[in-house]
Structures are given as C-alpha cells and as structure tokens.
Amino acid sequence: MAPGHVFWAIFYFACLCSASLANNAKVNFREKEKKILDQILGAGKYDARIRPSGINGTDGPAVVRVNIFVRSISKIDDVTMEYSVQLTFREQWLDERLKFDDIGGRLKYLTLTEANRVWMPDLFFSNEKEGHFHNIIMPNVYIRIFPYGSVLYSIRISLTLACPMNLKLYPLDRQVCSLRMASYGWTTADLVFLWKEGDPVQVVKNLHLPRFTLEKFLTDYCNSKTNTGEYSCLKVDLLFKREFSYYLIQIYIPCCMLVIVSWVSFWLDQGAVPARVSLGVTTLLTMATQTSGINASLPPVSYTKAIDVWTGVCLTFVFGALLEFALVNYASRSDMHRENMKKKRREMEQASLDAASDLLDTDSNATFAMLRQCEVHMQAPKRPNCCRSWLSKFPTRQCSRSKRIDVISRITFPLVFALFNLVYWSTYLFREEEED
C-alpha cells in the first residue's frame, strides 16, 4: 500500500474513534431541557393567552380530562351543612404548540412549577365555601409537558364544600355530598371537561370518618346553560352513611333508661309523696336537658326528624308517669273521703238499728233476720269477671282506686312503650331501605 493511502486510512480510523467517544460521553439532559423550554416557550413563540386547538388540530373545543385523588375527609358538619376534603386534583390536555424532540426517547417529559407559563383551563369548584393551596415545604404543584404536546397539571388542595342535607331520617339517614367542577369563562364551544377514562376518582385506602362511612361515589356531568352560553361541568357524588352505633349509645339507650326509671314510681307506696315527686321531676328535667342537647347539635329545620319523634315520645312517657302520680294522689284522697263517708253512714245506721231494736221483741227480730236471709239466698248469682277478679287481688279495701291505677300503669306503660318501639323501628328502617 502506498504511504499516502496508509495515512488516510489512519486518519479515517482516528475520526471514527473520536466520534464514537463523543457519542459515548455523558449528555447533560438538564441543559437540553433548558434549551427546549427556551425554544418552545420563548418570547414570540408561545402565547399562554390563546387556548389550544381542538382534536386533530381542528378549531373545535379544547378537551381537558380530569381525575382526582381523595386524600382525606376531615369532617361533615350537620349544622352548617358542609364538609371538608383534601385532594390531589389533576388535569390533562393536548397543546400541539408544545411538541419537542425527546432525544431518542431519553427525555420523557419537561417539568414546570409556574402555571402561568402555559395556557391553563379556567376550572373552578362551584359549591366551594373555602379553599387553600399547600405550600409546605414547597408549593405542592407541578406541570409536566410530554414530547407529543400533552400537558399534565397536578396540585394538592383543601376545600370546604357545601352539602345540602335532608335530615328527616336523622340519625338513620344517608347523605349525598357533591363535588362540582365547571368552567368559569370558556363555553363548551371553546372548552370541554371530561372525566379521565378508567379510574377518574380514587380514594385513599382506610379512609376513616368519626360518624360516617363512605359507601360509594359516582361520577357524572352537570353542564349548565345560562344567558351567556353553555358551560362544561363535572361532578362526583359521595354517598355517606351515618354510623348509628354512636347515637344508639349516646341517645337511644339513655332515653330508654330514663323512661324505665320513671316507671319505678308505680311500685312506690302512694304515701311516699316526696320520693315519687322527686323521681318524676328529676327524670322529666333530665329528659328535657337531653332533648335540648340533641337539638343544639342540629340545624333548626322546619320538618320533623326521626330523632324528634323518639325524644318527643320518651318525654311524653316521662311526663305521663308524673301525671299518673297526680292522678293516684287525687284518687287516694277521694277514696279516703269516700271511706270516711261510708264509716259515718254505717255509724248512723247502727245507731238507728240500736234504737229500733229496743222497740222490737225477740220474735220479731228472729222473723226479720230469717226474711233477710231468704232474700239474700234468692238473689241471682253474679257472673264472674276475669279482669275484676284479677285486679281485686292487688288493691286493698281502703284505697282500691288509687292502687288499681298503679297496677294498671305497671302493665300499660311498658306495653305501650314496647308497641311504640316496634312501630318506630319498623317505620324508619323500612323508609331507609326504600331510599336505598
């Protein structure tokens, strides 16, 4: 081989080696990201005020797909009818102006932390009362731009949302609280919100609420028409079931115990006036305090709630036990007055008989006694009455009516209360199943 040819062969080989070493050298992708961002977001190349084109570059509306991740639900307030939720909110749309070269698949996406650098949908929460972003330690927000122009916006926010409630079945009720998201200024001709396909709403595992259970959630659309146009809207309905065990322990069982304690006065002697009055008044005041405490934790609605029926009937039973003693006391005094009158009448009759016996002889007395005995034997026998014979075992002859009222109350009050419980639980549990 000629010396010139050898020289050119060595030179060519050296060039190949240097090119190979240059390709194998480490590429500074952060520097590449800066250049790409300056290229696609540079002055005069991208205007964040202009919305993206529609599907396939048409002049149709920009499509934004939404999904949310519910991190926690801190409270559900019955008085103010609102609930607080913390969630990660995500939006994704296609902006073909942001396409870039991914360097052979090595650059997966670009990351931004300033939302004003690119066009953003004007979404707002229509039933929001309060809300704030999270900025500890850094603002919890990011924007990812993918090579084909797709933009992902993610942010963590806390919201207090309105939740109108129907408390007719309280505390056996279920409540549906909504989260509504809509466009504020862009009509459906320019912007359309859609739920992300697959799994648009995610909930953190082991979500715990003090007095509620999240049974399920449903996604839907709620587009609204106004005199300025039609606006795209998304909503998710959260179905909460109230935990009944808390109210059973705190309200229903104590009310039952107060009603039963008020029945103790039926077994006390009718002469124990201080004991029976103190027991009746104490249970009545305790029941009234319990009722006012329950109503203080609820809004003043115009309809009757299930808990109102329960406390109202329990209060009526306690008040009825107090009135029963007033009736017993009146009957006792009436019986004593009647017995005194009978006693005086018997004394007067005895005095009359003693005076008449002095005028009659022994034979006439014997004849009168025989005639009276015949009259007694000739009277028709009375048919036995089961109720009277059963009730006659309890009262004494001196205070029959007052004792009889106590005996009847010992049976009537528990039976009526048991019947009320049967009707109450059957009615409201059946209505709860109907609403389901």
Q: Which pLDDT does position 23 carry in this prediction?
A: 47
Closest CA to 436 of 172, 167, 219: 172
Q: List the structure tokens of 341.
A: 């009158």
Rg (CA), the chain: 44
Q: Are 133 and 140 in contact (CB under 8 A)?
A: yes
Match 């405490």 to its residue by tokens: 293
Q: Which pLDDT does position 181 carry in this prediction?
A: 95
pTM as predicted: 0.73
Q: Which pLDDT does position 25 carry in this prediction?
A: 45
User: Who's near 115: CB < 8 A, 6+ residues apart?
Assistant: 141, 143, 153
Match 């109450």 to its residue by tokens: 424
- Widest CA span in the chain: 186
pLDDT tens track, the chain, 436 positions: 455 554 555 555 555 545 444 444 456 667 777 888 888 887 778 888 889 988 877 788 999 999 999 999 988 999 999 999 999 999 999 998 898 888 887 888 888 888 888 999 999 999 999 999 998 888 899 999 999 999 999 999 999 999 999 999 999 999 999 999 999 999 999 999 999 998 899 999 888 888 899 999 999 999 999 898 999 999 999 999 999 998 999 999 999 999 999 999 888 887 788 888 888 899 999 999 988 988 888 888 889 999 999 999 999 999 999 998 888 878 777 767 666 677 777 767 776 766 666 655 555 555 545 545 545 444 555 565 665 555 555 554 444 677 888 888 899 999 999 999 999 999 988 876 666 5
Q: Are 85 and 158 in contact (CB under 8 A)?
A: yes
Q: Which pLDDT does position 354 carry in this prediction?
A: 65
Q: Which pLDDT does position 433 carry in this prediction?
A: 60
